[in-house]
């Protein structure tokens, strides 16, 4: 019973767009996913995976994706909402994992570098 009430309340909140649990103040809901130019793999291509807290909806994911796309050297951004992970392919000759991590945190999402590997 309680459970039902809760999910009804949640559905209502979502429907009304008043659920603002995430820092992105979404509501934009734009489905467009931005990927920074499809450049060929750079010689210093690396992939960094970050554990990012509070990424709870597509608005958050989009915000992060767009922001990271503005960093020179970032080639690709993939946000996994379920795992709360952000995977970034970048050129280590132009930027580094710490710069990317800081950019995510500036948006209001606590981020931690999980691993950094050479991109195949």
Binding site for Cu ion (CB under 5 A): 22, 24, 26, 57, 59-60
Nearer to Cu ion, 45 or 55 (CB): 55
Nearer to Cu ion, 53 or 94 (CB): 53
| Cα separation, 119 vs 46, whole angstroms | 5
CB of 54 to Cu ion, least distance (A): 8
CB of 1 to Cu ion, least distance (A): 30
CB of 60 to Cu ion, least distance (A): 3
Give the CA angle between residues 60, 40, 120 to the nearest 5°. Answer: 80
Judged by DSSP in three states, 69 sits in helix
Nearer to Cu ion, 13 or 72 (CB): 13
- Sort residue 38 into left (φ over 0), alpha (ψ -120 to 50) or beta: beta
């Amino acid at each position: 019973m309680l459970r039902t009430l809760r999910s009804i309340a949640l559905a209502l909140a979502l429907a009304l767009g008043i659920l603002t649990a995430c820092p992105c103040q979404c509501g934009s809901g734009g489905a467009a996913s931005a990927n920074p130019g499809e450049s060929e793999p750079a010689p210093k291509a690396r992939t960094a995976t970050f554990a990012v807290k509070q990424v709870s909806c597509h608005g958050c994911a989009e915000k992060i994706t767009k922001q990271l796309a503005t960093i020179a050297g970032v080639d690709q951004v993939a946000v996994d909402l379920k795992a709360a992970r952000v995977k970034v392919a970048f050129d280590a000759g132009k930027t580094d994992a710490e710069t990317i991590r800081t950019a995510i945190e500036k948006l209001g999402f606590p981020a931690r570098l999980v691993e950094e590997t050479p991109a195949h």
